[in-house]
């Protein structure tokens, strides 16, 4: 059995001071870095995703629903300084012109956000590693972490969300997300 750690959207725009800030995002970023360093040997891969939206574009209506955030190449799209991207063995960008909440909607990229060629998805990376289990952490519990976990479970991966290493938009949507995850067979774990 092979396990991977999926780190979802630990970016400046999703942390305090960002355009779509989530309370506790900065502390979660730091805690994820510590956890990844301490548990590096437990994972075949540590994959970090980022929203990577196009500037001057509605991104498939995404910016009609949400404030402009995580525009490719801007400080808002950068990893939060409390998250050390060197702990990641792979990087993913998503939402390039379309709404994308799940890490599984993105493609592998280098650390600067430039898409790798040929384009490869997280699902392909996990299959190459023969990973059958994933742990998921990041921002936001009730949106991108939720969608990533649901997609992982739908692909037959044994899926766990380490809840203490996530930050949510709101308590009520967090609770609803955790219920939805449980109904899909996703395990919620403490750190």
Catalytic residues: 9, 94, 144
3-state secondary structure of 164: strand
In order along its 191 residues, the chain shows pLDDT tens digits of 799 999 999 999 999 999 999 999 999 999 999 999 999 999 999 999 999 998 988 888 888 889 989 999 999 999 999 999 999 999 999 998 888 999 999 999 988 888 887 789 999 999 999 999 999 999 999 999 999 999 999 999 999 999 999 999 999 999 999 999 999 999 999 75
pLDDT of residue 191: 55
**pLDDT score at 141:** 97
pLDDT at 114: 84
38 in Cβ contact with 174 (< 8 Å): no
What pLDDT is recorded for position 64? 87
Stated as kind and residue range, the H or E segment containing 33 is helix 25-38
Question: What is the rounded distance in angstroms from the CA atom of residue 135 to the CA atom of residue 160?
Answer: 5
Domains of the chain in start order, with CATH, are: 3-189 (3.40.50.850)
- Of 142, 136, 139, 145, the residue nearest 171 (C-alpha): 142
State the pLDDT at residue 58.
85
* The predicted structure's pLDDT at residue 88: 97
112 preceded by a cis bond (ω within 30 of 0): no
């Amino acid at each position: 059995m092979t396990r991977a750690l999926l780190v979802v959207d630990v970016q400046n725009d999703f942390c305090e001071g960002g355009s779509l800030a989530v309370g506790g995002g900065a502390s979660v970023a730091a805690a994820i870095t510590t956890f990844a360093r301490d548990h590096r040997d437990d994972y075949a891969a540590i994959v970090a995703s980022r929203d990577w939206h196009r500037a001057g574009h509605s991104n498939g209506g995404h910016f009609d629903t949400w404030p402009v955030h995580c525009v490719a190449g801007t400080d808002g799209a950068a990893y939060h300084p409390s998250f050390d991207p060197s702990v990641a063995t792979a990087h993913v960008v998503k939402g390039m012109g379309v709404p994308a909440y799940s890490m599984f909607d993105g493609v592998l990229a280098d650390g600067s956000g430039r898409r790798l060629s040929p384009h490869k998805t997280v699902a392909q990376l996990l299959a190459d590693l023969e990973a059958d289990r994933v742990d998921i952490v990041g921002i936001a519990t009730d949106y991108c972490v939720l969608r990533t976990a649901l997609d992982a479970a739908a692909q037959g991966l044994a899926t766990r969300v380490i809840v203490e290493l996530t930050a949510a938009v709101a308590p009520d949507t967090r609770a609803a997300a955790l219920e939805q995850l449980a109904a899909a067979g996703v395990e919620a774990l403490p750190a």
